Structure 1
């Protein structure tokens, strides 16, 4: 959303306005100016320009959608008939909510190829009914062949988890990453460079979430019966746009986990 601002709106001095629009400007400013220093601050925009910008960015999505639908139909007249017939994805993708990592775009997959679940820092928590439901449905009903847990370097959730302070409502969620840090404290503390330490925790977090996927009854029972799905751990790099395969040894990890977490019949 923020990357299009400079092209569409020329900010003017902000006049005093309603309490609601002031709150909106403050909220938008926090998410925009810190990461996008070249984009004009929301604090310097008039209310009319804010309204215009919101309308334009909303309408642009529908313009893009119409163009996308027309392109797909031109290339394959049966595309939407095939799409509406049902889904049969090969992959379950569990990724981070970060807006820069859309699963289908970075992998070149098409609609229907991947069943996708995303949350902050790509976590798989056994108390999260959302992700547990997704895994269960993808494995039992869609019969996916691969489950990918994909993190990314520079993950804000991972960095926040390594910050020793009270983060309010985020504490219960980030505790899962802090637990990964605790398990690998010696290795991580031995890395002198802070960014390298963050990135290593990104990798370790992906590996731990792969373990959590393998701990589920749905995955264990399906693999015992069908020899799929296979669980993979990947990390996306913004510098080159490439995925790094962490080379998860699925069968070894499964065997180790089943010493304690064996849920097969």
Structure 2
């Protein structure tokens, strides 16, 4: 286990390593960044966005919360989403869940979770919408994994419902929304290949926010 003091030693070693390869590394890092990617992932400490994507500092804008939710009344995620679209002009928005997610597992338990109840309700609603499919999966582990995937798709849809996304896509053709799952057992990123354009078209009757 790394001690608190060792973190600062690690930081110095990291600085030395970065500047040995490029003496202007931090000068360049301090300049304005224009990442092409917004990554919305889970707070789980085992899943690090830049590392699994093979990207470095400045290449991805990251937001994380328990079970990678995009709740339209959460000012945190909505602020990140709007900033990424309107000011950073990201080209891709990725929602990345992961198998063995504690938040999703907690939502599958029909019991009082205290302050977590309103947060987990979002995942429980995903279960309710897909109850027939999920209940037909006899293996609990596979059912759990499938809820992780369905939760990612639901959060992608929540992004597509926003005015910021719709207006930007109408005007520029970007950003495009993607749904991923990180397989914590193999390290692989699994692209769920959500049909972004089909979802955008499907929700238009109710969620079209491009008209003034």
TM-score by length of 2: 0.98
- From 164, 175, 182, the equivalent of 2:128 is 182
> In the aligned structure 1, how far is the partner of 2:201 from the partner of 2:14?
45
1:197 corresponding residue in structure 2: 143
- From 170, 187, 193, the equivalent of 1:224 is 170
Runs of 4+ in 1 over 4 A off after TM superposition: none
Q: Quote the offset at 1:86 in angstroms.
A: 1.1
1:149 corresponding residue in structure 2: 95
1:214 corresponding residue in structure 2: 160
When the two structures are aligned, how many residues end up with a matched partner? 211
User: How do 1:33-44 residues align onto structure 2 when only pairs under 5 Å count?
Assistant: none
Does residue 75 of structure 2 align to residue 129 of structure 1? yes
Does residue 118 of structure 2 align to residue 172 of structure 1? yes
SS state of the match for residue 195, structure 1?
Answer: helix
Does residue 66 of structure 2 align to residue 66 of structure 1? no
Alignment deviations for residues 8-58 of structure 1 (CA, whole Å, 9 cap, x no partner) = xxxxxxxxxxxxxxxxxxxxxxxxxxxxxxxxxxxxxxxxxxxxxxxx611
> In the aligned structure 2, how far is the partner of 1:182 from the partner of 1:248?
20
Q: Quote the offset at 1:192 in angstroms.
A: 0.2
Alignment deviations for residues 154-178 of structure 1 (CA, whole Å, 9 cap, x no partner) = 1111111010111111000000000
Unaligned stretches of 5+ residues in structure 2: none
Aligned residues: CA RMSD = 0.8
Alignment deviations for residues 160-210 of structure 1 (CA, whole Å, 9 cap, x no partner) = 101011111100000000000000000000000001000000000000000
User: How do 1:1-265 residues align onto structure 2 when only pairs under 5 Å count?
Assistant: 4=1, 57-265=3-211
Based on CA coordinates, which of the two structures has the bigger radius of gyration? 1
Unaligned stretches of 5+ residues in structure 1: 5-55
Q: Quote the offset at 1:142 in angstroms.
A: 0.3
> In the aligned structure 2, how far is the partner of 1:207 from the partner of 1:176?
13
Structure number with the bigger relative contact order (C-alpha 8 A, sep ≥ 6) is 2
> In the aligned structure 1, how far is the partner of 2:195 from the partner of 2:145?
21
TM-score by length of 1: 0.78
SS state of the match for residue 231, structure 1?
Answer: strand
> In the aligned structure 1, how far is the partner of 2:201 from the partner of 2:3?
50
Q: Quote the offset at 1:115 in angstroms.
A: 0.6
> In the aligned structure 1, how far is the partner of 2:112 from the partner of 2:136?
25
